[in-house]
Amino acid sequence: MTSLADGTGHPALRGLPAVWLRANCPCAGCQDPGSGQRLVAVTDLPADVTVAGVQASDGAVEVIFGPDGHRAVFAAGWLARYGDRGPDGQDDDRTEDAKCLWAAADLGGGIPQGWWPRYLADPEHRSACLSAVLTHGVVVLHEVPCEPGAVLAVARSLGYVRETNYGRLFDVRAEPAAANLAFTRLPIAPHTDNPYRDPVPTVQLLHCLHAAADGGGDSTFTDGFRAAAVLRRQDPAAFTCLTVTPVTFAYADAAAVLRATGPMIGLDPRGRIRQIRLNGRSLAPVRLPTAQARAFYAAYRAFAGLAAGPDAMVTARLAPGDCVIFDNTRILHGRTAFADGRGGGASTGRRHLQGCYADLDGLASAVAVLARDQAGRAGQADQASQAGQAGS
């Protein structure tokens, strides 16, 4: 055995210090074999933990810790994954770094698409459709039955419905005395939904039951991460302004009074774009000193302009049976105005969508479970067990 106080001198330890190794000891006393959860609180580890010895052989690395003589046996490949030179790629893939940013031209004329009957029958197709939401932010599924409530079955297939004050699902159609602009015939600029909520619904679904009879009412989609990245390149000060200025979005009706505060462009601690909040309709009056208010509005206008630009925005006409699924932390959606037959019933072609909300963590889990199942079928059963890192 080699003795070395912090472990980092031994090549098999890959630069991982003693405290890291001890905190990640896989023995049954430190990690529950059933659940994969850590059994030992960080406060119960020896404060002065050292590596007293290392023995590497046959793909296993045994570590003896001081001062208490505790022993851990790691798989060498596992240490390599986490050591200094190991690859990245175990984070949650929610920032711009993990996304495929797109301009309208990059999509080749339309958003990624799939077909509901095949989605149900074929796990690979289902995985491809849901993966498109993770990479491109949006997918449209064709041939979803034109039945009220079908959108809930789509949501259920990828996670869990997020119920809100709008209900488990909501109808989007022109109404006589609308409490929300969504329920009028007016055009709607690219926006994220419900920024007055925290947590915001991270996935939105919209299912077309009836298209507008006389043109208009098309849906628009913009990659908000790309629009923010373009702003960062073209006008770094404007980008920074929108990342450091918390603004409040607000909504109130007879049954709800909602408000949430956050920056229009949310970054992770490493400065990567992670969450867009853009919705002119529900932005509460900003509360800033005069010069900052001017700078904020200039930046906001620039960002909204990029989001609505023809090179950024894809227009898609949803046909009856189409259900679009998108990442509401990234994709800005909107619609063109429509005229439509007034007072018409279903048969007149009156535009009618049904929507609901869900969340990205459930969707990403569905994709990961499908991938694990595929790997399992390919005989790589160890991947399933390695994924078992768990906790409440």
* Phi and psi torsions of 112, nearest 5°: -55, 145
Binding mask 300-319 for its own copies (x = CB under 8 A): xx--xx--x-----------
Q: Which of 281, 319, 346, 376 binds its own copies (CB under 8 A)?
A: 281
146 or 284, CB closer to its own copies?
284
196 or 321, CB closer to its own copies?
196
42 binds its own copies (CB under 8 A): yes
Q: Which of 130, 140, 182, 314 binds its own copies (CB under 8 A)?
A: 182
Stretch that binds its own copies, among 20-28, 126-134, 208-216, 341-349 (CB under 8 A): 20-28
137 binds its own copies (CB under 8 A): no
What DSSP line would sit under 118-156, residue for residue?
HHHH-HHHHHHHHHHHHHTSEEEEE----STTHHHHHHH
The count of residues in the chain is 392
Residues within window 193-222 making contact with its own copies, judged by CB under 8 A: 193-194, 196-200, 202
Sequence-distant (≥ 6) Cβ neighbours of residue 283 within 8 angstroms: 247, 248, 249
Q: Is 13 within 8 Å of 63 (Cβ atoms)?
A: yes
Written as six digits, the tokens of 315 are 């227009």
Q: Is 316 within 8 Å of 239 (Cβ atoms)?
A: no
Tell me how crowded residue 78 is: count the other CB atoms within 10 A of its CB: 17
How many residues make contact with its own copies (CB under 8 A)? 110
Stretch that binds its own copies, among 175-183, 214-222, 318-326, 341-349 (CB under 8 A): 175-183
Q: Which of 109, 270, 310, 378 binds its own copies (CB under 8 A)?
A: 270
Pairing mode, strands 219-223 and 313-316: antiparallel
75 binds its own copies (CB under 8 A): no
Stretch that binds its own copies, among 28-36, 50-58, 110-118, 225-233 (CB under 8 A): 28-36
Nearest approach in angstroms of CB 343 to its own copies is: 19
180 or 315, CB closer to its own copies?
180
17 binds its own copies (CB under 8 A): yes
Residues within window 224-243 making contact with its own copies, judged by CB under 8 A: 243
64 binds its own copies (CB under 8 A): no
Q: Is 351 within 8 Å of 233 (Cβ atoms)?
A: no
* Phi and psi torsions of 198, nearest 5°: -140, 110
153 or 250, CB closer to its own copies?
250
Stretch that binds its own copies, among 19-27, 114-122, 210-218, 310-318 (CB under 8 A): 19-27
Residue with tokens 């940013």: 101
293 binds its own copies (CB under 8 A): yes
Q: Which of 2, 5, 24, 135 binds its own copies (CB under 8 A)?
A: 24
38 or 142, CB closer to its own copies?
38
177 binds its own copies (CB under 8 A): yes
Residues within window 98-117 making contact with its own copies, judged by CB under 8 A: none
282 binds its own copies (CB under 8 A): yes
Residue 99 CA: distances (Å) to CA of 109, 113, 134, 175, 236: 19, 18, 7, 37, 21
181 binds its own copies (CB under 8 A): yes
Residues within window 82-101 making contact with its own copies, judged by CB under 8 A: 82, 84, 86, 88, 90-92, 94
Sequence-distant (≥ 6) Cβ neighbours of residue 243 within 8 angstroms: 263, 264, 265, 266, 267
Q: Which of 68, 253, 311, 382 binds its own copies (CB under 8 A)?
A: 253
Q: Is 99 within 8 Å of 135 (Cβ atoms)?
A: yes
What does the alpha-carbon distance between residue 224 and residue 266 come to, in Å, rounded to a whole number? 11
Nearest approach in angstroms of CB 102 to its own copies is: 21
Residues within window 155-174 making contact with its own copies, judged by CB under 8 A: 160-165
Tell me how crowded residue 279 is: count the other CB atoms within 10 A of its CB: 20
Across the chain, the runs of DSSP E, i.e. the strands, are 50-57, 60-66, 71-75, 113-115, 138-142, 170-172, 188-191, 203-210, 219-223, 246-252, 257-263, 265-267, 273-276, 313-316, 323-327, 331-335, 352-358
388 binds its own copies (CB under 8 A): yes
First CA to last CA distance, the chain: 38
Q: Which of 10, 12, 45, 238 binds its own copies (CB under 8 A)?
A: 45
